Structure 1
Amino acid sequence: MNFSKPLIVLSIGLALAGCNSDSNSTTDKTQPAAPFDLTIAHVNDTHSSFDAVKSSFKVAKTTVYNEFGGHPRLLTKANAYKEEAKTNDDSILFLHGGDAWQGSAYFKLNDGKMNADILSQMGLDAMALGNHEFDLDNEKLNSFIGSINFPVLAANIDTSKDADLKDQTNLKPYVVYAFNGNEKELVTDLDNLPEGKQIAAIFGLVLDDMPNIAPNTGDVEFKDMVESAQSTVDMLKTKGINKVIAVTHIGNAVDLDVASKVNGIDLIVGGHSHTLLGDFTNLGLSNNGTYAKMVTNPDGKGLTCVVQAGEYAQAIGKTEVSFDAEGEITRCGGNNTLLTNDEFYDDAARDTDSKFTDQETASVVSFIEGQDNIAVTEEEAKLRAHINTKYKPAVDAAYGNVIAAVPNEINHERRPGDGGTDAHGSDVAPIVAAGQYYWASTTKVLDVLKVEGITKIDFSLVGAGGVRNSIPAGDFREGNVSLELLPFSSPMSIVPVKGLVVKNLITETVTATLKAGSHAGKFPYGGNLNYTFTETVAGTSGTLDSIEVNTGTLEIPVWTDLEDDTTYNVAINSYNATGSDGWTQLFTAQDGNSDRVDLAYVDGNLTAFPVERLYSVVVEDQTKYKVEYEAGRVLDCKDTTKEMECNTDAQAVIDYIKAEKPTLTPISNETVTLNRAE
């Protein structure tokens, strides 16, 4: 195999010591005592990005506006990797780190059916089960898993009590492949491994706190990640399988932690944190940490290689791993490659006048050809035509009316400092927060809330993970909000809570995202609120320096310190208001008693649904947060006897932009300042 990228080479002594040594393992004599090279192509968190994502990068000091990725480009590059492997008679796998669902209008209109169709054309060998695969219900998830042509993996779940998934045979803890050069076959009998072939196992890991992150896990039970990983590796070792890969959806920081606590995993192909590992400063982008980072196992001898490939089908990773004759990993390396089109502009609006000339385009292409982390990639023609013909017309029709003009791209990064952002982070999340505060403060909403004893809204809070994308320049339609930006159809909640609860919430959620590679979906942004947080110990802890609420008007703000013992009425989507995704302070504040009110449209009328209390249910060591409404006033978004519109989170932002932001630009007030430690 030709290792064209820099590789991490282990010392002979370390290799002989055994990266995945296990005193309880046995050696299968049917496996050839010969070195083995394996290539892994991988993607993760593709989130129904079947079309390319509008983006930009820099050539020297010139900003180049382009498009990255989309599934047809991923397929072209994956096929190229496979063709190269076939030519060289190399062994190769193509893995997906989970969260294929959600994220675009395509998913909203097709409930995962399109995902099954398109992914089955990608030539995948396995996919991790992601948290967003639980966004609908387990009946639809079961249908998806049963209709795709590759297995979905999760070794730390038990579906035996779930009515929908208990008999699903394509949801597996692991799969095993036997390789003979470029040829590979699925192994189903671990007690009779094929002779003379190299054997590799791939097992899946999902978040063990999934019930508090995903809305519809049914009766699936989730087991401890570390314990399940170790027991799975140990079992595979006793069968004589000495090359073990984990495909996970737990986040890069957790991948690194698992690698430090489990003996015997050679490679972790990750997802969930959307981490585009590698140094992309040559493109004017970020350095996101080491691709193919080696982590020492708890036995002090073994090493695990960890990779991840970003988000939204913009990039593909390629990892090249070598094993010695004893099945010990001796080198691991590679990189992520951003997949770009070859149509470039010097303005985010991408109008005709801003299109690069042929000479300028040739210069950019020449620059790209000299880089190893970006490549001009054509879309696979048949897949593009299939999407355009079968699915795109309905999506185009669903976007509705133009509500604003966007003169320049508005960037969304979950955590300040990521993606080249400054200390204030996302410019999109504050727009969402401002919109939800504005909407909740309008007369039409307050007239409904007054009946429930709420006469004003103080501020809003938004979790960064609920905001799904940046806003490209150009026309901005209703569907860009409801189908893409805020696709989860969450009711807005008004939650009366003490100021101290809010302070603790912000401190906990910001602290949880400080570590490099952590899942930053819980990072908080505010509307009519601002705060400053200073990291004091890098990646570990910090302090909330100040937090203020505007007690004046939007036109003439008066910033006042948040008081610990004062009760504030906070507008939050129902997902975070229930304490999900680490916002547990809000669950604790409402546990047993709540004055919260949820808002949804019923038969066209905005309707209040008062909450009696929140409570938790523990089943097989899994805790789920539940909402109990006042008797006779239950909010059921699946009630087919009424016309239910529960996506007031998105409608709030649509109404705000229509009324206040016909030219959509970042809001002037910075709501977040995160001072990172040196």
Structure 2
Amino acid sequence: MEGTMLRKIYSFCFVLFFLVSTALAAPDVRELIVLHTNDMHGRVLSGDSDGMGLSRLSTLVKDIREQHDHVLLLDAGDALHGMPIVTLEKGATMVSLMNAMGYGAMTTGNHEFNYGASRVVELAAMTDFPVLAANVKKEDGSLLLQEYVLKNYDGLRVAVFGIATPETLTKAHPDGVKGLRFEDPVATAKRMVDTLKDEADILIALVHLGLDAGTRPEYRSSAIAENVAGIHLIVDGHSHDRLEHGLRVKDTLIVSAHEYNKALGKVVMRLDGEGNVSVEASLISKETGMAVPEDPALKAMIDAIVAKQEAALSEVIGRTSIRLDGDREQIRVGETNLGNLVTDAILEASGAELVFINAGSMRASVEPGNITLKNLIEILPFGNNIVVKEITGKALKEVLETGAAVFPGSDGSLLHVAGMVYAIDPSQARGSRVHDVLIAGRPLDAEKSYFAATNDFLAAGGSEMAVLKNFPTIREAGSVDGALETYIRIRVEISSAVEGRIREKILKNERSSSASCFVGSLDWFEDPLPVW
């Protein structure tokens, strides 16, 4: 009996000792919450391109900060340029709002350089957080911006370094990046890891590189993850990817929160007592964001900005003696003078051979009289940018067919053009409706390559134009609204007309002659144009 009791006491003491020693030896787990955005493109207001808006985004951030001790808010670039609300003051508006939201750091996207390198430096000086780009050098070899930032959260050491895409040299206006050198992302990341590995427990690369197939492999964020050890997290932008739980490449997690504040990225990073780092990613959806109230302080700031800009938007930039037709019922089913005006402006700004844009990108008419900056925003509310791609004639035909697929339906996919004309036969099957395509007066050549300008929405595969993603971007040429503003200011008096760029043309059985008309007009005629 006594022996049994002693054994029980011994067993109890052993278990107690084990539990105590295990508790004493348990890793001291410390936690960091990383919140992230990317590719906001100046989307400030709720509903801009279907985003939740900054005032609701701010509420989500504040709620998470109340729930966790250590929260770091990051942006992966292309935030300061895009919608007129931010471009009117060359990015300063967005900086003030990001300051109010408590961002901890951002890197530069290629669109930040639409303002020019000197303005990027000015904007960086306005921020309450560092703007990071370790691979951007000036002509003399010095850094344009800060390389990295070190943060300490009650002993948890965190390093964040920034890398900008070398594609900026071709995707921003040449004058904006003149004299700059964008060094290799992988080599820069290796240098940063060597510099920071002894200074931090957690290492984060804040990059604007993307994962797009059209980007050179060595410029993608995945190239860093593949070739550089020691980075726990890559917060990415540029390709507008929605990575619900991130993309793991070797020991590094790559995260991206889509675009236009349609989601807020959340990463839980934990460091145990043995130096091991765990990383878990998720996205907070736009639907969740729209269900929370707007942050009253940020909403008040935004309302004040909008009110202030009303005066600036009343500036007269030109005049028109005719109505410029952007009505949905007209512009989505045929050629209009406004569609021609916008595409002509893009053609001039881009230096391309031809232009095509979707009817749905144009949203308002202009009545006879003065043309103001506000008119431009109403016509082009999406903040789209001009992209020039080199595409084949065969691909161009496919693009035109996609735009004509539901014609005369009005889903907004009909393509308005400059530098070319084409005809549509709605009686034909989808994929066989477009014919009589002329580029600068000559029949479309399926094997030839053409420099085509469009908006970044279509260039990225929007409106079912996935074929465009397969072709290289030659350059970017600023914003569509900026091109239209310049075009109008130069000419002052605007009198664009319908010219027969888009025709509805029913092919006869012999396909040797056909009745045709300007789409939307009543002027029928015999047209001997060659058949595609």
Give the TM-score, by structure 1 length.
0.50
Secondary structure (helix, strand or coil) at the match of 2:72 reads strand
Against the structure 1 CA distance between its residues 396 and 69, is the aligned structure 2 distance closer, same or farther, given a 3 Å change threshold? Answer: farther
What does 1:339-378 correspond to in 2, within 5 Å?
339-340=286-287, 376-378=291-293
How far residue 139 of structure 1 moved from its aligned partner, in angstroms, is 2.4
Q: Does 1:338 align with 2:285?
A: yes
How far residue 645 of structure 1 moved from its aligned partner, in angstroms, is 7.0
How far residue 203 of structure 1 moved from its aligned partner, in angstroms, is 0.6
How far residue 572 of structure 1 moved from its aligned partner, in angstroms, is 3.1
| 1:214 corresponding residue in structure 2 | 172
| 1:174 corresponding residue in structure 2 | 148
| 1:309 corresponding residue in structure 2 | 257
Against the structure 1 CA distance between its residues 82 and 250, is the aligned structure 2 distance closer, same or farther, given a 3 Å change threshold? Answer: same
Q: Deviations over 1:488-517 (max 9, x none)?
A: 5x6x99x9xxxxx7428959xxxxxxxxxx
Q: Is the 2:362–2:380 contact (alpha carbons within 8 Å) kept by the matching residues of 1?
A: no
Computed over aligned residues only, the root mean square deviation of the Cα atoms, in angstroms, reads 5.0
| 1:384 corresponding residue in structure 2 | 299
Against the structure 1 CA distance between its residues 566 and 273, is the aligned structure 2 distance closer, same or farther, given a 3 Å change threshold? Answer: closer
Determine the C-alpha separation between the residues in 1 that align with 2:363 and 2:423.
32
| 1:251 corresponding residue in structure 2 | 210
Say how many residue pairs are matched.
Answer: 406
Unaligned runs of at least 5 residues, structure 2: 1-25, 213-219, 317-322, 367-373, 406-419, 427-432, 438-442, 457-468, 476-482, 503-517, 522-532
Determine the C-alpha separation between the residues in 2 that align with 1:583 and 1:567.
10
Q: Is the 2:33–2:70 contact (alpha carbons within 8 Å) kept by the matching residues of 1?
A: yes
Determine the C-alpha separation between the residues in 2 that align with 1:603 and 1:244.
47
Q: Is the 1:157–1:222 contact (alpha carbons within 8 Å) kept by the matching residues of 2?
A: yes
| 1:460 corresponding residue in structure 2 | 355
How far residue 174 of structure 1 moved from its aligned partner, in angstroms, is 0.7
| 1:479 corresponding residue in structure 2 | 376
Q: Deviations over 1:520-539 (max 9, x none)?
A: xxxx984589899xxxxxxx
Against the structure 1 CA distance between its residues 320 and 565, is the aligned structure 2 distance closer, same or farther, given a 3 Å change threshold? Answer: closer
2:113 to 106, 129, 134: 134
Determine the C-alpha separation between the residues in 1 that align with 2:497 and 2:190.
46
Amino acid at match of 1:388: D
Against the structure 1 CA distance between its residues 213 and 199, is the aligned structure 2 distance closer, same or farther, given a 3 Å change threshold? Answer: same
Q: Deviations over 1:308-342 (max 9, x none)?
A: 1111123211110122324332x3223111244xx
How far residue 161 of structure 1 moved from its aligned partner, in angstroms, is 3.4
Secondary structure (helix, strand or coil) at the match of 2:239 reads coil
Determine the C-alpha separation between the residues in 1 that align with 2:340 and 2:365.
21
Against the structure 1 CA distance between its residues 110 and 91, is the aligned structure 2 distance closer, same or farther, given a 3 Å change threshold? Answer: same
How far residue 208 of structure 1 moved from its aligned partner, in angstroms, is 2.1
| 1:37 corresponding residue in structure 2 | 31
Determine the C-alpha separation between the residues in 1 that align with 2:497 and 2:230.
50
What does 1:121-520 correspond to in 2, within 5 Å?
121-159=100-138, 161=140, 171-180=145-154, 197-215=155-173, 216-237=176-197, 239-253=198-212, 254-278=220-244, 291-296=245-250, 303-329=251-277, 331-340=278-287, 376-392=291-307, 394-395=309-310, 398=313, 403-406=325-328, 435=339, 460-461=355-356, 478-480=375-377, 484-485=381-382, 488=385, 502-503=391-392
Secondary structure (helix, strand or coil) at the match of 2:62 reads helix
Unaligned runs of at least 5 residues, structure 1: 1-31, 56-66, 181-196, 279-290, 297-302, 341-372, 411-426, 449-456, 496-500, 508-523, 533-548, 576-580, 588-598, 605-642, 663-678
Amino acid at match of 2:247: K
Against the structure 1 CA distance between its residues 531 and 390, is the aligned structure 2 distance closer, same or farther, given a 3 Å change threshold? Answer: closer
Q: Deviations over 1:370-403 (max 9, x none)?
A: xxx6661111112111211233452597389995
Secondary structure (helix, strand or coil) at the match of 1:134 reads helix
| 1:77 corresponding residue in structure 2 | 60
Against the structure 1 CA distance between its residues 333 and 235, is the aligned structure 2 distance closer, same or farther, given a 3 Å change threshold? Answer: same
Determine the C-alpha separation between the residues in 2 that align with 1:42 and 1:148.
17
| 2:453 corresponding residue in structure 1 | 572
Against the structure 1 CA distance between its residues 260 and 504, is the aligned structure 2 distance closer, same or farther, given a 3 Å change threshold? Answer: farther
| 2:215 corresponding residue in structure 1 | none
Determine the C-alpha separation between the residues in 1 that align with 2:224 and 2:520.
46
Determine the C-alpha separation between the residues in 1 that align with 2:487 and 2:133.
41
Determine the C-alpha separation between the residues in 2 that align with 1:602 and 1:175.
40
| 2:319 corresponding residue in structure 1 | none
Amino acid at match of 1:174: Y
Q: Is the 2:57–2:289 contact (alpha carbons within 8 Å) kept by the matching residues of 1?
A: no
Q: Is the 1:337–1:375 contact (alpha carbons within 8 Å) kept by the matching residues of 2?
A: no
Larger radius of gyration: 2
What is the percentage of aligned positions where both structures have the same residue? 23
Determine the C-alpha separation between the residues in 1 that align with 2:36 and 2:446.
47
Q: Is the 1:315–1:337 contact (alpha carbons within 8 Å) kept by the matching residues of 2?
A: yes
Q: Is the 1:105–1:483 contact (alpha carbons within 8 Å) kept by the matching residues of 2?
A: no
Against the structure 1 CA distance between its residues 231 and 572, is the aligned structure 2 distance closer, same or farther, given a 3 Å change threshold? Answer: same
| 1:8 corresponding residue in structure 2 | none
How far residue 551 of structure 1 moved from its aligned partner, in angstroms, is 5.7
How far residue 586 of structure 1 moved from its aligned partner, in angstroms, is 6.6
What does 1:522-561 correspond to in 2, within 5 Å?
526-527=399-400, 552=423, 558=435
Determine the C-alpha separation between the residues in 1 that align with 2:73 and 2:342.
46
Determine the C-alpha separation between the residues in 2 that align with 1:198 and 1:567.
55
Against the structure 1 CA distance between its residues 475 and 502, is the aligned structure 2 distance closer, same or farther, given a 3 Å change threshold? Answer: closer
User: Which has the larger helix fraction?
Assistant: 2
Determine the C-alpha separation between the residues in 1 that align with 2:342 and 2:425.
9
Q: Does 1:105 align with 2:84?
A: yes
Amino acid at match of 2:195: M
Q: Is the 1:108–1:487 contact (alpha carbons within 8 Å) kept by the matching residues of 2?
A: no
Secondary structure (helix, strand or coil) at the match of 2:101 reads coil
Q: Is the 2:363–2:380 contact (alpha carbons within 8 Å) kept by the matching residues of 1?
A: no
Q: Deviations over 1:435-473 (max 9, x none)?
A: 4599559xxx9xx9xxxxxxxx996356xxxx9x97699
Q: Is the 2:365–2:379 contact (alpha carbons within 8 Å) kept by the matching residues of 1?
A: no
Q: Is the 1:404–1:661 contact (alpha carbons within 8 Å) kept by the matching residues of 2?
A: no
Q: Is the 1:72–1:381 contact (alpha carbons within 8 Å) kept by the matching residues of 2?
A: yes
Q: Deviations over 1:404-423 (max 9, x none)?
A: 4448xx9xxxxxxxxxxxxx
Determine the C-alpha separation between the residues in 2 that align with 1:316 and 1:380.
15
Against the structure 1 CA distance between its residues 307 and 573, is the aligned structure 2 distance closer, same or farther, given a 3 Å change threshold? Answer: closer
Against the structure 1 CA distance between its residues 172 and 525, is the aligned structure 2 distance closer, same or farther, given a 3 Å change threshold? Answer: farther
How far residue 137 of structure 1 moved from its aligned partner, in angstroms, is 1.6
Against the structure 1 CA distance between its residues 395 and 472, is the aligned structure 2 distance closer, same or farther, given a 3 Å change threshold? Answer: farther
Secondary structure (helix, strand or coil) at the match of 2:96 reads helix
Amino acid at match of 1:232: M
Against the structure 1 CA distance between its residues 431 and 603, is the aligned structure 2 distance closer, same or farther, given a 3 Å change threshold? Answer: closer
How far residue 114 of structure 1 moved from its aligned partner, in angstroms, is 0.9
How far residue 118 of structure 1 moved from its aligned partner, in angstroms, is 1.3
What does 1:43-58 correspond to in 2, within 5 Å?
43-53=37-47
Amino acid at match of 1:248: V
How far residue 661 of structure 1 moved from its aligned partner, in angstroms, is 8.5
Secondary structure (helix, strand or coil) at the match of 2:186 reads helix
